[in-house]
Amino acid sequence: MPTKTSFTIPLTAEQQDRLIKVLSTGNYRPRETPYTKISVTGPDCNIALYTSGKCVVQGQGAEDWVTFTLEPEVLLEAKLGYETVHTPEMFQPHLGVDESGKGDFFGPLVIAAAYVDDKIVPKFQEMNVRDSKTITSDKKAEEMAEAIMDVLDGRFALVTIGPRAYNRLYAKMRSVNRMLAWGHARAIEDLLEKVPHTKRAVSDQFGPTQQIERALMKKGREIKLEQRPRAESDPAVAAASILARAGFLRALRDMRKRFEIEIPKGASAKVRETAQTIITKAGPTVLLDIAKCHFKTADDVLTAVGQSRTALGPEGAATSQAKADWKSIRKKQAEKK
Q: Given 218, 251, 284, which residue is the final one in a domain?
A: 251
Lowest mean pLDDT among 85-89, 232-236, 259-263: 85-89
Confidence of residue 330 (pLDDT cuts 50, 70, 90): low
pLDDT at 47: 96
The 200-204 sheet, strands edge to edge = 156-161, 109-116, 94-100, 200-204, 224-228
pLDDT at 30: 94
Q: Assess whether 94 and 240 both reside in one domain.
A: yes
pLDDT at 306: 94
Q: Are 142 and 246 in contact (CB under 8 A)?
A: yes
As a three-state string, the secondary structure of 41-94 is: EECCEEEEEECCCEEEEECCCHHHHHHHHHHHHHHCCCCCCCHHHHCHHHHCCE
Confidence of residue 125 (pLDDT cuts 50, 70, 90): confident
Q: Given 34, 57, 81, which residue is the final one in a domain?
A: 81
Lowest mean pLDDT among 92-101, 120-129, 312-321: 312-321
Q: Assess whether 59 and 178 both reside in one domain.
A: no
Q: Assess whether 115 and 211 both reside in one domain.
A: yes
Q: Which amino acid is at 98?
A: D
Q: Assess whether 102 and 238 both reside in one domain.
A: yes
Give me the sign of the Cα torsion angle 177, 98, 102, 38: positive
Give tens-digit pLDDT for 44-79: 899 999 999 999 999 999 888 988 899 888 988 766
- The total number of structural domains that make up the chain: 3
Buried b (16+ CB within 10 A) or exposed e, 205-225: ebeeeebbeebbeeebeebeb
Of the ranges 64-78, 113-127, 318-332, which is most confident?
Answer: 113-127
Confidence of residue 18 (pLDDT cuts 50, 70, 90): very high
Pairing of strands 224-228, 156-161: unpaired
Q: Assess whether 57 and 176 both reside in one domain.
A: no
pLDDT at 98: 95
pLDDT at 329: 47
Q: Assess whether 162 and 25 both reside in one domain.
A: no
Q: Assess whether 246 and 273 both reside in one domain.
A: no
Q: Per the domain annotation, does 335 fall within a domain?
A: no
Q: Assess whether 244 and 301 both reside in one domain.
A: no
Q: Please choose, from the candidates 162, 160, 158, the residue with its C-alpha nearest in 3D space to the C-alpha of residue 107.
A: 162
Q: Per the domain annotation, does 259 fall within a domain?
A: no
Q: Assess whether 120 and 169 both reside in one domain.
A: yes
pLDDT at 86: 42
- pLDDT > 90? residue 317: no
Give tens-digit pLDDT for 82-118: 344 345 688 899 999 999 999 999 999 999 999 999 9
Q: Are 40 and 47 in contact (CB under 8 A)?
A: yes
Q: What is the percent of the chain where pLDDT is above 90? A: 59
The 6-10 sheet, strands edge to edge = 6-10, 54-58, 45-50, 36-42, 29-30
Q: Assess whether 35 and 180 both reside in one domain.
A: no
Kindly report the backbone phi and psi dihedral angles of residue 105, in degrees, each rounded to the nearest multiple of 5, phi listed first: -65, -50
Q: Per the domain annotation, does 334 fall within a domain?
A: no
Q: How many CB atoms lie within 10 A of CB 21?
A: 11
Q: Assess whether 115 and 218 both reside in one domain.
A: yes
Q: Are 96 and 232 in contact (CB under 8 A)?
A: no
Q: Assess whether 205 and 245 both reside in one domain.
A: yes
- The CATH number covering residue 58 comes to 3.30.310.10
Stronger pLDDT, 87 or 128, i.e. the higher one: 128
Residue 188: domain span: 88-251
Give tens-digit pLDDT for 183-229: 999 999 999 999 999 999 999 887 767 788 788 877 777 888 888 87
